[in-house]
Structure 1
């Protein structure tokens, strides 16, 4: 078994970093969906949703950076092109979403997908004794 600079099994951290890249791609699509919805939202709940979507995209932007930095900490390279994000993401691209009900549904479905990935990473990081990634995933899950 080869250990990295954190004292973790490199085979296990490669799997975790791959999963984190998958999460990163999904978060990037989620983030861009939130920005687009924030800009284009219409309907009776415009003011409430406009503010809420700004809150969510600000939080998502911070999480994107945390995920990428964790991948680097695990000695891997974070995905960084939109082409890679689209290929790797399961969160659907919300093109021209402006109706409030449709926007909320897209975001709820996106969060469901993100939580699935985060729980998978939580389990893998626990098995690898990767406390840093495990703590980050626990925080993400708690905050969503």
Structure 2
């Protein structure tokens, strides 16, 4: 007689399944925003022109590199919660609050757009906090705190570039 396939292990993280799934859904929105911002920042890195080319090119490179690492951390947290991490452009388009870049704006507009988008990611992260707090999900709260701190600082640096 053939053995039936094993059921996947129950995920008991000390929170109920509804809380766990809601947190993972929130983190999926954060992942979509972060990935969209990564793509936009990388695009601007490639296409920036003008008198500030070198400084903006390097600044954008540092930002998209940090975002590339962040998407992995966020996706891994979703997986640790036992849910699938979204990983397609169509999923990100549905989940993200950040719009894709249209065309190639002037350098100063790129900086302004990225500063606004950094704050949009902060708002998405902040919206997940009540869920993490209610579930006593400290690992997610820690991840959200770190992400918010990085995005707030990056937005400030971008705004400072504008004068």
TM-score scaled by structure 2? 0.83
Over residues 55-80 of structure 1, what are the superposed CA-to-partner deviations in whole Å (9 max), with x where a residue is unaligned? 00000001100010000000001111
What is the deviation of 1:132?
A: 0.5
Output the CA distance in 2 between the equivalents of 1:74 and 1:87: 21
1:51 to 47, 52, 58: 58
1:120-139 correspondence runs (5 A): 120-139=127-146
Aligned residues: 142
What is the deviation of 1:124?
A: 1.6
SS in 2 for 1:51: helix
User: Where does residue 160 of structure 2 map in the other structure?
Assistant: none
User: Where does residue 110 of structure 2 map in the other structure?
Assistant: 103
User: Where does residue 80 of structure 1 map in the other structure?
Assistant: 87
User: Where does residue 25 of structure 2 map in the other structure?
Assistant: 18
TM-score scaled by structure 1? 0.93
- Decide which structure has the larger Cα Rg and report it: 2
User: Where does residue 100 of structure 2 map in the other structure?
Assistant: 93
Unaligned regions of 5+ residues in structure 2, if any?
A: 1-9, 152-163
Unaligned regions of 5+ residues in structure 1, if any?
A: none
CA contact (8 A) 1:42 1:98 kept: no
What is the deviation of 1:6?
A: 1.9
RMSD: 1.3
